[in-house]
């Protein structure tokens, strides 16, 4: 069974600074996808970024980027120029298999990010 581990229950960053959230996963699959979801106090789950395992290039979405280390099974999220609106719970998630299937997401336990002035 696949597992996702987020070892940082809480992190804090000052506004405009950079922070990195860690995630490791365990799988025997070769084809999979990884995601970061943001959950603000409203508890809505918002997709932040995705990474296809077959791509060597790290995904980037504006101020959000990932460091995907396939051999180490590590998938960290870097938030640059942190803003107050980035304060939220961040969940790392894993999905096995190809597109065209109904594979579930397996989530980590989350990291609560605080952004301070």
Partner 1 sequence: EPEVTQTPSHQVTQMGQEVILRCVPISNHLYFYWYRQILGQKVEFLVSFYNNEISEKSEIFDDQFSVERPDGSNFTLKIRSTKLEDSAMYFCASTRQGYEQYFGPGTRLTVT
- Residues in the site for partner 1, rule: CB under 8 A? 33, 35, 37, 42-47, 50, 91, 93, 95, 97-110
Residue among 90, 108, 112 nearest 6 (CA): 108
CA 40, 10, 106, 18 torsion: positive or negative?
positive
To partner 1, the closest distance from the beta carbon of 77 in angstroms equals 15
To partner 1, the closest distance from the beta carbon of 76 in angstroms equals 18
Residue among 20, 32, 25, 21 nearest 5 (CA): 25
Instruction: Mark 84-117 as b/e (b = at least 16 C-beta within 10 Å).
Output: eebbbbbbbbbbbeeeeeeeeebebebbebebee
To partner 1, the closest distance from the beta carbon of 35 in angstroms equals 7
Residue nearer to partner 1 on the CB measure, 44 or 116: 44
To partner 1, the closest distance from the beta carbon of 14 in angstroms equals 26
Residue nearer to partner 1 on the CB measure, 70 or 112: 112
Residue nearer to partner 1 on the CB measure, 63 or 104: 104
Residue nearer to partner 1 on the CB measure, 73 or 89: 89
Q: Residue length, the chain?
A: 117
């Amino acid at each position: 069974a696949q597992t996702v581990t987020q070892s940082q229950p809480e992190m804090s960053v000052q506004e405009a600074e950079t922070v990195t959230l860690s995630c490791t996963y365990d799988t025997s699959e070769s084809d999979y996808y990884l995601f970061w979801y943001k959950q603000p106090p409203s508890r809505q789950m918002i997709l932040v970024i995705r990474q296809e395992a077959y791509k060597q290039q790290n995904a980037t979405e504006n101020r959000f980027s990932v460091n995907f280390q396939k051999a180490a099974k590590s998938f960290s999220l870097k938030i640059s120029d942190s803003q107050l609106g980035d304060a939220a719970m961040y969940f790392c998630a894993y999905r096995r298999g190809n597109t065209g299937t109904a594979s579930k997401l397996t989530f980590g336990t989350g990291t609560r990010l605080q952004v301070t002035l």
